[in-house]
Amino acid sequence: MRQMNRTILALVAGVGIAGGVSAWSQAQDSRPPQPPAARIATVDVLGIVERMLASDRYRPAQEAYLKQENDKLRPMADELAAIEERGSKLAQGSPELEALGREFDTKQEAFQRARQEGLTRIEEYNANQVREAYRLTLEAVDEVSGRMGYTHVVSSRTGDVTIKSQNVAGALQEILARPMARSPRADDLTERLIRQLRLENVRFEEPPARQPEGADRGPVQPLR
């Protein structure tokens, strides 16, 4: 009898343990999978885009488009210069000079409109280049960081922390371009991306040309 009781107790205990293990296993299985541990890198995305825009991939096209817009304006500018030259040889107050002045004003207005339209086209062209360079940069960032096991990449200026702007608005923009106040140099992928995109030899101390020649000059002065 005692032996039978012991056997029953052992079976009950066994069932209890098995049930507990089964319930624990089910609880474990129902837990959501844990995300991988975050691994963060930094990349100077703006710096890489600047390099790309100054590279042979983009700069010759910029200069060609700028020349194209200048060529459109040059005949109008030459005509205004010729009218000025004619007016300089006429006597002040003469009817011919007054008529020439009215012609000059009309053609100058047309020139200014044409120049503004050219500036708008150049800005659109440059913006398209920036969009493409930014897209290609992010694609390279995604490929390199994924291959190296990073889960997050923060766009942040790298290099010595210096504020070059001479006004508050510019200085604040430089500060905002560095959201990472501190990060390990080993986790900065900028130089690796520069090599990946073959931009090592690009120098961009001087910004690429962005405006037609007439855009940085004041309007041609009227004859009067």
Domain of residue 166: give its range: 34-211
Q: Which residue has the higher pLDDT, 224 or 9?
A: 9
Determine, yes or no, domain membership for 197: yes
177 assigned to some structural domain: yes
Which one has a higher pLDDT value, 213 or 149? 149
- Helix axes of 59-88 and 95-147: crossing angle, nearest 10 degrees: 170
Is residue 220 domain-resident? no
Helix 95-147 vs helix 45-53: crossing angle, to nearest 10: 130
Q: Is residue 69, in this structure, part of any structural domain at all?
A: yes
What are the beta bridge partners of residue 39? Answer: none
3-state DSSP assignment of residue 48: helix
- Alpha-carbon distance 37 to 34, whole Å? 9
pLDDT over 90 for what percent of the chain? 64
CB 84 within 8 A of CB 104: yes
The answer to the question of residue 26 being in a domain is no
**H or E, element range at 155:** strand 152-155
- Does residue 29 lie in a domain region? no
Q: For residues 7 and 9, what is the distance between their CA atoms, to the nearest angstrom?
A: 5
Q: How many domains does the chain have?
A: 1
**Residue (of 158, 151, 147) closest to 183 by Cα position:** 158
Domain assignment of residue 85, yes or no: yes
* Backbone phi, psi, residue 155, to 5°: -80, 120
Position with higher pLDDT, 211 vs 172: 172
**Residue at 52 is within a domain:** yes
pLDDT at 158: 87
Rounded to whole angstroms, how far apart are CA atoms 214 and 220?
A: 10
- Measured over the CA atoms of residue 58, residue 63, residue 66 and residue 67, the dihedral's sign is negative
Is pTM beyond 0.85 here?
Answer: no
Q: Residue 52: is its pLDDT beyond 90?
A: yes
Report pLDDT digits (tens) over 67-124. 999 999 999 999 999 999 998 888 888 889 999 999 999 999 999 999 999 999 999 9
